[in-house]
Chain A
Amino acid sequence: MSAEIMLECSGLRRRFGEIVAVDGVGFGIAAGETYGLLGPNGAGKTTTISMIAGLLERDGGEVTVDGEPMTTRSVRAKSAIGYVPQDLAIYPDLSGRENLMFFARLYGMSTAEARRRSAEVLTLTGLADRAGDQAKHYSGGMKRRLNIGLGLLHRPRLLILDEPTVGVDPQSRNAILDSVAALSGAGMAVLYTTHYMEEAERLCDRIGIIDHGKLIAEGTRDDLVRTVGEGDQVRLSAAGDLTRAAESLAARSWVRQARALDGGIDLVVEDARSELPAILSDVAAGGVAVRSVEVTEPDLEAVFLHLTGRALRD
């Protein structure tokens, strides 16, 4: 069974003056699929989705949403999209209910429909008992929930979330991630941008890695991890001259990559079980004290590092 394609975009291009922010990005999302756009800050994620949502003019490329072509002027295509921007986009002077009612009607619902749907969303986001208070009096978490609720209001077929968990406390963050998973399960297509690897791994069916405006890799998590090749990820939590230790490790033939981090060293090696003693003695020789060792499958950070030579999170 092939699910409907909700979003199809190709060759997206946009420059700002001299800088080319997005250069030939293209991907597709099917109904019920969560697609993650993963990349460091400044990679072009927000610009890409701004073009997809019809907020920004494209310099090149095509976007089709639910079969309708998308431009900054498309009314039909925009009806199918729910947009949750990174910065809070709510009216502080209006109450939660008023915010929802306004956008509901803007999306074409009648007053009665709008009222019904607003009530539903208020319950969904847990804001029902504060619905009459002005949004400026909400806590940070509540504002975030309203922000997301506004994107869901009109039952969009494609939900776009731009880094929804930046600066959010862990509890709210979990709640958001659970909600997105539920929505995806219910058949919504979701485009989710983030620079947090864990979120991408947890939520997304497929992930596109974007860097410097280009989509450098795409696939399921397993697909991506496989690009690193067979191997294990060894994470050392240590103190001392980490950089020198990492360099000397990297020189070893059976070490795929080694990187010094804040408080430790990340390695990808061929077979951790056999090579672990050598790693530890190497590191100890360099005067580094190891506190703990973790052996896992390579993760997306490792993938990114492998592809670009740079860290995903700075």
Chain B
Amino acid sequence: MRAAWLICRKDLRSRLRDRSAVLIGIVVPLGLAFIFNAIFSGISGGSNVISLGVVDADHGVASQQFTGQVLEAVGRSGLITIHTEPTVARARELAARGTLAAVIVIPAGFSARVQAGQPASLQVIGNADAPVSTQVARSIAESYAADLNRIRLSVATAAAANPGTSLPPARIRALAAAAAAATAPVAVRDVSAQTRELDQKSFFAAGMAVFFLFFTVQFGVTSLLEERNEGTLARLLAAPVSRASILGGKLLTSFLLGIISMTVLVVATTVLFGAAWGNPFGVAVLIVAAIMAATGIMALIATLARNAEQAANWQSVTAVILGLIGGTFFPVSQAPGILSRLTFVAPQAWFLRGLGDLRGGGVAAVWTPALAMLAFAAVTGAVALFRLRRLAEV
């Protein structure tokens, strides 16, 4: 064991001196996370409140009801901020410029037409680059219109019981009042769900970290092949050191490099970019499991290659494919069909899921993903060790 530790220390010293491990393990993922952070904080940093303009050219009962009750209610929910504009022309100009995401126009005579049972319409002016906000404005208007239509249809249906005769206006008004007073048959109640998904910032931090982890751990086991090439493996074998110690030392190097890299990344992204990784204990469990899985897989590939260069190439290909399927570049959980299942072939997917679940639930949420990753580690590690024994022969 002591020998394994000595070998590990020697390897770490070499690697850190080489700077390539520092680059791949820390600088590159941090740099990329920084860039992504810069891009994304400009987009949906949080404030996506819709600037909704309202032009009330009507000043009637219906428009008061719409602006006073319907829009107020939506505004209180924080979804929109309401900007009253005096004229349609002004409002249109603001919408064109993008200052307002959308405008709802209540044209003159709206209330009168509604009262009289005539066709009426609300107009939505949407900014060309804000389709989602425009859609929301439209939906708000349509909900209101639908409610008015319900009243009309209710009255019409009741009146249709006596076909041929037309009801006196008073009767119609009474019916309308009754219909308006009737409760809507279907209500929608909001139920809030937890978020068991990483926010964007944290997603990129975690995604980059776990992607490059699979490169960082390569430095451990591949060095065994390098030592064989360089001739120093012979010296190690001639020394009074067991083969297990030599292998152990190499695996330990991978592991420690992984720990150092991930720790620095977690701390740096949290402090510098405000990424929220979650409960420290849960994060630690997931990280350790991920490192072990990565080490096992990369070690296995190294044993299948003929020399260090080939090993590095195959390892890179594998790391990239697993990273892609595992959703480290972009979340593939929304992908249809086979892709959403294929993702779990990659330990990276389990890592990200673990972090997501940790966010929504307690620490207990990490055990399943951690065990999955440990299973990866166990299987690949066992095969790798078996093959490594034969490799550690001059």
Contact = CB atoms under 8 A, between A and B. Distances in A.
Given A91-B10, A150-B235, 13 more contacts: A56-B393, A72-B237, A73-B243, A75-B240, A78-B238, A78-B240, A89-B234, A89-B235, A93-B13, A98-B10, A102-B6, A103-B239, A106-B7
A81 B238 CA distance: 8
Contact of B239 (A78, A90, A92): A78
29 contacts: A50-B394, A53-B238, A55-B237, A72-B237, A72-B243, A72-B393, A73-B243, A75-B241, A75-B242, A78-B238, A85-B235, A87-B231, A89-B231, A90-B232, A92-B230, A93-B13, A93-B18, A94-B10, A98-B10, A102-B6, A103-B235, A105-B6, A106-B3, A106-B7, A106-B236, A106-B239, A106-B241, A107-B239, A150-B235
Nearest to A75: B240
A79 interface: yes
B14 interface: yes
Interface of B: 3, 6-7, 10, 13-14, 17-18, 230-232, 234-243, 393-394
Interface residues of A, number: 32
Contacts of A79: 240
A103 B235 CA distance: 9
Interface of A: 50, 53-57, 72-76, 78-79, 81, 83, 85, 87-94, 98, 102-103, 105-108, 150
Contacts of B243: 72-73
Do most interface residues of chain A lie in helix, strand or loop, or is the interface mixed? loop
Contact of B242 (A73, A91, A94): A73
Contacts of B10: 91, 94, 98, 102
B202 to A, nearest CB: 36
Given A78-B240, A94-B14, A89 B232 contact: yes
Contact of A55 (B14, B230, B238, B241): B238
A107 B13 CA distance: 19
Contact of A108 (B14, B17, B240): B240
Contacts of A108: 240
A150 B232 CA distance: 11
Contacts of A150: 235
Contacts of B234: 50, 55, 83, 85, 89
B276 to A, nearest CB: 39
A160 B274 CA distance: 60
Contacts of B13: 93-94, 98
A56 B242 contact: no
A107 B235 contact: no
Nearest to A77: B240
Contacts of A94: 10, 13-14
Contacts of B238: 53-55, 78, 81, 83
Max count, chain A CB within 10 A of own CB: residue among B7, B18, B240: B240
A175 B122 CA distance: 101
Contacts of B6: 102, 105-106
Max count, chain A CB within 10 A of own CB: residue among B17, B231, B238: B238
Query: What are the 3 A-B residue pairs with the smallest beta carbon separation, nearest first?
Result: A83-B238, A89-B231, A78-B240
B17 A93 contact: yes
B64 to A, nearest CB: 80
Contacts of B18: 93
Nearest to B229: A87
A93 B219 CA distance: 14
